[in-house]
Structure 1
Amino acid sequence: MTFMARPPAGRWIEGNDIRILENGEEFFPRVFACIANATREVILETFILFEDKVGVQLHEALVAAARRGVQVDVTIDGWGSPDLSERFLTTLAEAGVRVHVFDPGPRPFGWRPKVLRRMHRKIVVIDGTTAFVGGINYSEDHLQDWGPAAKQDYAVEIRGPLVADIQRFCHSALAEGQRHQRGQRSWWRSRSQLRSPPENLPHAGGAAAMLVVRDNRNHTDDIEQHYRLAIRSARKRIVIANAYFFPGNRLLHELRRAARRGVDVCLILQGQPDMAIVKTAGSMLYPHLLRAGVRIFEYCKRPLHGKVALADEEWATVGSSNLDPLSLALNLEANVVIRDREFNRALHERMDRLMRTSCREVRLEELTDLKGWGLVRSFLAYHFTRRYPTWAAWLPEHAPRLLPAVPGALRPALADAKGRR
């Protein structure tokens, strides 16, 4: 029997109501409605915020909340949200919205590639009673009317005691980012001024759940550990839908072992990728997985952007973490891990419908490029998965910095990141 070096971080919190939200059509109306009804506090973190029709709707909701006295904090990533106009930021600031930018620009004399170690979380907490966690950004390409390039994605709406844990985490992240500002005026409130989350939120449902995060200090592989533990424990079925699939060798090993012991292991991956390299890299692992009995389905309707999984009839996870080197070894991520039969059933119904109606199953006999250079590429890709977690640890670490988005002051830095989606 294989044992984990240490148990995964996190604690199960009982009594939550958790609902799956699919695509922008389900997600945006719920978030905007909850912000419209907020009376005390809105905290929002996102990798991408664009000034399109979705971004404008969010802007209007945040401004209206702040003007009626709600405390509003918004954190965006400086690489993922590069194109916000001065007017957009000014209106937020004048209403009282505090916009924080995660590592907005290059570091003179301390060079660090801008695409590495990003703030990739997508979290909303409203009044300490409702939270949203998932993979959906604030951009109109999460709506189906965007066309063939619209993304397929998921998030969850949470009510119950877990919300207090998520709120505490968001407060801590804001305080941590403020502490590491260098040469910046300390403008954000101190820990003593934080609005304390309610200690005993009433039970709202029957789901046990926990927030699991990935960072570059204390929680470097917590999300991956929860995946591996669920895969190792599965006896009937595993379904993973993940946009950017190139996991480390340990996770690949668990998937292959599960399939060989008779578990129905299904991967839903990109068939119409938003970046061609994503499918190329992932497909190099296909032979190793298919030979072990893992079933692979390519979602061909639109680009897949989801990061969800389920195991057997209780366990599930939804969040921001892909199963690739960036998410598993570099980025700041957040997933909710759920133990609930009703939620598992609802998620499985959506995944099953996706596989039946919008996916193409990949067969081993179809992989004709398994000789010559194709065989070499597959071999190299498989062995790269054994090494990249170690290589990632060699890259420079840094303390995450949050800077205030003072209108005009951050425009050069944001413009430097232009084009990153």
Structure 2
Amino acid sequence: MFVNFEWREGNQVELLINGCQFFPRVFDSIRSARHEILLETFIIFDDQVGRGLKDALLEAAERQVRIEITVDGYGTADLNSDYIAELRAAGINMHIYDPRPRRFGMRTNLFRRLHRKIVVVDGEVAYIGGINFGADHLPEKDPMGKQDYAVRVRGPIVDDIRAAAETLLLEHQAIQELPALMPAAPEVGEAAILLAVRDNHTHPTDIEEQYLLAIRSATSRLIIANAYFFPSYRIWHELANASRRGVNVILILQGQPDRPWTKNLSSSLYNPLLSVGVRIFEYKERPLHGKIAIADHEWTTVGSSNLDPLSLSLNLEVNLFIRDTKLNREVYEHLVDIMNNSSQEVTPESAAKGPWWRAPLTVVSFHFLRHFPNIVGWRPAHSPKIKPLTVKTSKKKRVLR
């Protein structure tokens, strides 16, 4: 099913920084739900955050709210069976994207993941960002908790977000068409917002194209904070062009990575970017998991998409592209703060340090990762499916399907 999303005027948008702001707002919305909750996420953990989510969902289910939850078969492969059983027993519909058998105890569904993070409540309020449902997104309680972002939106854009969540389930025949919610979301603010999804069929480059449009049109400043930065050649080329024409291009990348190899890949691009005037900062306070950027004084994006081959070419992703001067200024002030107080600028001298084999490895890594999605495509093809999330139990216990 093809859905063509357009810019929507008249929206209200609120920036949410880290789980301490995100989780309470989401849980409050779920507790106030009257008709419907649609939730997609890469990961749910059975920890203090996951249990808080479960409690809020169970309260909503008691009020006969329709609830559809979709999780990823790789990211949420180990969710506790009791957790699943409790939600399903309450009448909550749980789906899993591309569940795959393990081989020698290892998860095999590495690519083409459901990486989107969406919550829609009653067709009135929606949340999109990069935050999973786990305590590792609470840096205030965990020194290595992830730094991340989301937005809460109201207005006509919520209709598009709801349609995107519904479309994914309909495409996989996981649900019947959702009932219409009346009235449609009214205009409530000043922000213009575009929803962009990335899939492997009808929208393979939508998020990348919106980034490219913003980079090409930037005239004064461009700041990108991204967790896993190894962009397509087109994005890399346009960033260099923007810097050459006088745009202040700044990258905030991981300096305290949750996966050390990702920093090695990103740093392999430092020298060519520094050579054309791009400034690079490594965020040192904690792992950076954010996917957020601003251009000039109006444009902002927040979502689930990293700027790497997995997000740009394989995973299912979703970003909001927002034209709103107030949000842009708020994000700018925040990014400048972490850049100045929690990051270290990369210099040509520091970027040049390393063993003799680093330069040839950079060339090999760059060209390999450019073609990585095509290489993955050589593997025997399978069509990912959304299936009911079942409970793993012993033979003596009933299996919920």
Structure 1 position 169 matched with structure 2 position 155: no
Question: Contact 1:329/1:392 (CA < 8 Å) preserved in 2?
Answer: no
Aligned to 1:345: 329
Distance 2:40 2:94 in 1: 10
How far apart are residue 124 of structure 1 and its match?
Answer: 0.1
Once the two structures are superposed, what CA deviation does each residue of 1:260-281 show, in whole Å capped at 9, x if it has no partner? 1110000000000000100001
Q: 1:386 to 1:96 in 2, by over 3 A?
A: closer
Map of 1:190 onto structure 2: 176
Q: Does structure 1 residue 355 correspond to structure 2 residue 350?
A: no
What amino acid sits opposite 2:228 in the alignment?
A: Y
Give me the whole-angstrom Cα distance separating, in 1, the residues matched to 2:85 and 2:189: 41
SS across alignment from 1:62: helix
Q: Give the Cα–Cα distance (whole angstroms) in 1 for the partners of residues 337 and 242 of structure 2.
A: 23
Residue number among 232, 236, 246 corresponding to 2:230 in the alignment: 246
Contact map agreement 1:160 1:202 (CA 8 A) in 2: yes
What is the match of residue 399 of structure 2?
A: none
Q: Distance in 1 between matches of 2:8 and 2:267?
A: 38
Matched AA of 2:79: L
- Aligned partner (choices 360, 367, 380) of residue 364 of structure 2: 380
1:144 is paired with a residue whose SS is: coil
Change (3 A) 1:199 1:230: farther
Q: Which amino acid aligns with 2:214?
A: A
The whole-number CA distance in structure 2 between the counterparts of 1:198 and 1:400 is: 33
Map 1:270-281 → 2, pairs under 5 A = 270-281=254-265
Mapping 1:43-192, distance limit 5 Å: 43-106=38-101, 113-178=108-173, 189-191=175-177
Q: Is the 2:250–2:281 contact (alpha carbons within 8 Å) kept by the matching residues of 1?
A: yes
Aligned to 2:24: 29
- 1:93 CA drift (Å): 1.1
* Conserved? CA contact 1:38–1:70, under 8 Å: yes
Find 1:205's aligned residue among 189, 195, 198.
Answer: 189
1:67–1:350: structure 2 CA closer, same or farther, 3 Å change rule? same
Task: Write the letter of the residue equivalent to 2:230.
Answer: F
Structure 2: which amino acid aligns with 1:207? Answer: A
Q: Distance in 1 between matches of 2:110 and 2:319?
A: 21
1:284–1:219 Cα change, 3 Å? same
Q: Cα distance, 1:104 vs. partner?
A: 1.4
Q: Label 1:173 to 1:308 Cα distance change in 2 as closer, same or farther (>3 A).
A: same
User: Which range is displaced more, 211-220 or 75-84?
Assistant: 75-84
1:330-385: CA deviation from partner (whole Å, max 9, x where unpaired): 10000011111111111111111110110100011222337731221222233335
Correspondent of 1:406 among 363, 366, 390? 390
Q: Which amino acid aligns with 1:15?
A: G
The amino acid of 2:78's aligned partner reads D
Map 1:386-397 → 2, pairs under 5 A: 386-397=370-381
Q: TM-score under structure 1 normalisation?
A: 0.88
* Residues 273, 303 of structure 1: 8 Å contact kept: yes
Shift of 1:396: 4.9
Please give the secondary structure, in 1, of the residue aligned with 2:14. strand
Q: Is the 8 A contact 2:197 2:206 kept in 1?
A: yes
Q: Higher RCO, 1 or 2 (CA under 8 Å, sep at least 6)?
A: 1
Contact 1:43 1:74 in 2 (8 A): yes
Does residue 366 of structure 1 match 2:350? Answer: yes
Give the match for residue 304 of structure 2.
Answer: 320
1:275/1:410 CA distance change after superposition, 3 Å: farther
SS in 2 for 1:334: strand
* Distance of aligned partners of 1:325 and 1:395 in 2 relative to their CA distance in 1, 3 Å threshold: farther
Task: Tell me if structure 1 keeps the 8 A contact 2:16–2:150.
Answer: yes
Partner AA of 1:356 in structure 2: N
| SS of residue paired to 2:75 | coil
Amino acid at match of 1:250: R
1:418 aligned partner: none
5+ residue gaps in structure 1? Answer: 1-8, 179-187, 412-421
| One-letter amino acid of the counterpart of residue 198, structure 2 | R
Structure 2: state its 5+ residue gaps.
396-401
Q: 2:269 aligns with which of 285, 291, 297?
A: 285
The CA distance in 2 between the partners of 1:224 and 1:116, in whole Å, is 18
Asked if the contact 1:23–1:153 (Cα under 8 Å) also holds between the matched residues in 2, the reply is yes
Q: Is the 8 A contact 1:214 1:220 kept in 2?
A: yes
Deviation at residue 206 of structure 1 after TM alignment: 0.4
Q: Is the 8 A contact 1:122 1:320 kept in 2?
A: yes
The structure 2 residue matched to 1:13, chosen from 8, 11, 14, is 8
Separation in structure 2 between the aligned mates of residue 322 and residue 272 of structure 1, nearest angstrom: 17
- Secondary structure in structure 2 of the residue aligned to 1:100: strand
SS at match of 1:238: strand
* Deviation by residue 1:31-80 (Cα, 9 ceiling, x = unmatched): 00000000000010000000000000000001110111100111011110
